[in-house]
Amino acid sequence: MLKTNTSIPSKMRAAVLTTKQNIRLEDRPVPQPEADQVLIQVKAVSVCGSDVHYYLEGRIGDFVVERPLVLGHEVSGVIVGVGDNVPEQRIGQRVAIEPQRPCGTCLQCRTGHYNLCPHMEFYATPPIDGAFQEYVTIQASFAHPISDNVSYEEGALLEPLSVGLWACHKAHISPGARVLIAGAGPIGILTAQAARAFGAAEIIVSDIQHERRQQAMKYGATSTLDPSKESVEQLEVDAFIDCSGAAKAVQSGIRAVRGAGYAVLVGMGGDEMMLPVSVIQAREINVTGTFRYTNTWPMAAHLVASKQVDLSSMITARYDLEHAEDALKASLDPQSIKIIVTP
Whether 62 shows a pLDDT value over 90: the answer reads: no
pLDDT tens profile 307-333: 999 999 999 999 999 999 999 999 999
What pLDDT shows up at residue 61? 85
CA neighbours closer than 13 Å in the CB half-sphere of residue 179: 37
What pLDDT shows up at residue 335? 85
Q: Is beta strand 257-265 parallel, antiparallel or unpaired with respect to 286-289? A: parallel
Residue ranges of domains in the chain: 11-157+311-342, 163-289
pLDDT tens profile 148-197: 999 999 999 999 999 999 999 999 999 999 999 999 999 999 999 999 99
CATH classification of 163-289, choosing from 3.40.50.720, 2.40.180.10, 1.25.10.10, 3.40.50.300? 3.40.50.720
Query: pTM higher than 0.85, yes or no?
Result: yes
What pLDDT shows up at residue 215? 93
What pLDDT shows up at residue 101? 97
pLDDT tens profile 251-272: 999 999 999 999 999 998 888 8
Mean pLDDT for the chain overall: 96
Answer yes or no: are the C-beta atoms of 91 and 80 closer than 8 Å.
yes
Cβ neighbours for 265, distance < 8 A, ≥ 6 positions apart? 242, 250, 287, 288, 289, 290
Confidence tier at 146 by pLDDT (50, 70, 90): very high
Whether 5 shows a pLDDT value over 90: the answer reads: no
pLDDT tens profile 192-224: 999 999 999 999 999 999 999 999 999 999 999
What is the chain's length? 343
Confidence tier at 84 by pLDDT (50, 70, 90): very high
Answer yes or no: are the C-beta atoms of 160 and 228 closer than 8 Å.
no
Whether 1 shows a pLDDT value over 90: the answer reads: no
* Cis peptide leading into residue 102 (ω within 30°): no
Domain 11-157+311-342 class in CATH: alpha beta
Whether 290 shows a pLDDT value over 90: the answer reads: yes
Answer yes or no: are the C-beta atoms of 54 and 65 closer than 8 Å.
yes
What pLDDT shows up at residue 338? 97
CA neighbours closer than 13 Å in the CB half-sphere of residue 58: 9
